[in-house]
Amino acid sequence: MQIPGGLDADVFLRDYWQKKPLVIRQAFPGLASPVSADELAGLACEEAVESRIVIENNNGRPWQLENGPFAPERFESLPATHWTLLVQGLDHWVPELAPLLDRFRFVPNWRLDDIMASYAPEGGSVGPHYDQYDVFLLQAEGAREWQFGGHCDETSPRVDGTPLRILSDWNGEETVVLEPGDMLYLPPGVGHHGVARGDCITLSIGFRAPSYDDILTGFSDFLCNQPGADQLLRDPDLQPQDNPGEITPAAVDGVSRIVASALERRDLLALWLGQYTTAPKNTHIVVPPEEPVDADSLRSALAEGAWLRWNEGSRFAYHELGEQTALFVDGERYMLSGDARIMAPLLCAGHHPNPERMAELARDEALGGLLTTLINQGSLYLEWN
């Protein structure tokens, strides 16, 4: 397996992933931007789309942030230079990005966050900053100059008077100019500053990991919803103590055993992780179709040459769990047994599951029912070639 640009995936993961930046010239040769500046502005006017405008200097105030949705007139009143439009979750709204995302399957599906598009005229930037996630910065149109390097964290000095986390005392160690098709990989915590050299569009393919807080609070909430979670602590070996106000080591040990026992349930941890990391970011992403399908019509469509395709905002993952396979789709869990287990890796391999295998498996009553459920909840849809 290779990453865009031809480097072996195992070499990239061993030498660069979460370790150091990498400039990849012509990672996507001949790339034409899948979205125009006008289309990005149109998306930024939609209620369901997360969008922002960053203005470097707004009436003497540095690095001002505006959140969408925007009225179309807002774009007519922006300055000629030194501003940026950001549109989050572009992969949810632009189906043409799916083949591009499939080039990044060397990173597990559950780590993918989304694709953000950044449009900027001359001098446009969001300021020197760092991210807490891995990101591939792909130049889609025009040129952008990047300075990057040096580790930053929450103690790094920041600019006052702005809601953005702009670094105030930072100098990049390297400078590159990215042209269409070029890409820059940055690990978490690496400072960077991109400035548009004329009108340009940059695509940011982000890979986010759960925080410690996400893991601890999310998994504990999940455990609390499991059978038996309402049991009370028992202490049949309670001993007399000199002072009733003391919480004894034995009491702490009793609670510790309960916590340790719960944390040893790797099966439950895997189920929580799959559901948590595939859950939709908002309610606008996975929408049921206007007309539901039934299993018979699905089988007929697949037999006639239709393809199944992921909804652009959906997330698919699976985990092998003893005699079963857990399939996770948009925060829901489906347990597959026996011959049905093959469905999970086939569905999760990419945005267009193998059409011949899907048509074959859909003939099974249970699997045909599962595919029908996924279509009717909005996670899959039929596409005719």
% of the chain surpassing 70 pLDDT = 100
User: If you average pLDDT over every residue of the chain, what do you get?
Assistant: 95
| 125-155 core/surface letters (b: 16 or more CB in 10 A; e: else) | bbbbbbbeebbbbbbbbbbbebbbbbebeee
Query: Are residues 202 and 301 located together in one domain of the fold?
Result: no
Say if residues 125 and 86 touch (Cβ distance below 8 Å): no
Domain span holding position 317: 295-383
The predicted structure's pLDDT at residue 105: 95
- For the chain, which residues score pLDDT lower than 70? none
Select from 191, 207, 223 the last residue of a domain. 207
The predicted structure's pLDDT at residue 59: 80
The predicted structure's pLDDT at residue 58: 81
What CATH number is given to the structural domain containing 70? 2.60.120.650
Distance between CA atoms of residues 117 and 141, nearest Å: 11
What CATH number is given to the structural domain containing 367? 3.40.366.30
Select from 162, 189, 207 the last residue of a domain. 207
Say if residues 61 and 257 touch (Cβ distance below 8 Å): no
| CA distances from residue 332 to 164, 317, 373 in whole angstroms, order as listed | 34, 10, 11
Number of structural domains, the chain?
Answer: 2
The predicted structure's pLDDT at residue 198: 98
In a domain, 223, yes or no: no
In a domain, 225, yes or no: no
Distance between CA atoms of residues 41 and 36, nearest Å: 9
Distance between CA atoms of residues 209 and 111, nearest Å: 6
The predicted structure's pLDDT at residue 119: 99
Backbone Cα Rg of the chain = 25
The predicted structure's pLDDT at residue 283: 77
Burial class (CB in 10 A: 0-12, 13-18, 19+), 54: buried
In a domain, 75, yes or no: yes
